[in-house]
């Protein structure tokens, strides 16, 4: 099991950038795939990005492709989400998640979740 704590959220204007971090503790981080998901009020949790344990396989949602970058530093037990050119529709609580094996798009495939960090983008 992996314990996950997100940070880096905040209130920004459209067009700004934020970098989210997800600090992990536990003995399986460097063999886990990691994902970022987000959930806006009244909406279902949606996939944002995912990365394999070695960083060689990366997936993005079409809505963030070209604007967001997921990365990880296994030496620091941390996964990042660099978010550029933010839009009001990116407003949500962002969660990181861990799973054994390959990265997946479905939130049901992930085993461990952080509590989330709020990102609010004003127009």
Q: pLDDT band at 52, cuts 50/70/90?
A: very high
Burial call 23-39: b when 16+ CB within 10 Å, e when fewer = bbeeeebeebbbbbbbe
User: Going by C-beta distance under 8 Å and a sequence separation of 6 or more, which residues neighbour residue 76?
Assistant: 23
pLDDT for 123: 94
Is the model's pLDDT at 118 over the cut of 90? yes
pLDDT for 26: 81
Is the model's pLDDT at 76 over the cut of 80? yes
Question: Closest by alpha carbon to 54, among 120, 93, 103, 112?
Answer: 103
Is the model's pLDDT at 29 over the cut of 90? no
């Amino acid at each position: 099991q992996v314990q996950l704590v997100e940070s880096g959220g905040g209130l920004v204007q459209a067009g700004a950038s934020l970098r989210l971090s997800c600090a992990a503790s536990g003995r399986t981080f460097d063999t886990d795939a990691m994902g970022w998901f987000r959930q806006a009020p009244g909406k279902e949790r949606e996939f944002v990005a995912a990365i394999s344990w070695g960083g060689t396989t990366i997936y993005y949602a079409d809505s963030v492709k070209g604007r967001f970058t997921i990365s990880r530093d296994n030496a620091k037990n941390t996964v990042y989400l660099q978010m550029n050119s933010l839009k009001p529709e990116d407003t949500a609580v962002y969660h990181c998640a861990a799973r054994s094996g390959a990265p997946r798009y479905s939130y049901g495939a992930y085993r461990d979740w952080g509590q989330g960090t709020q990102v609010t983008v004003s127009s």
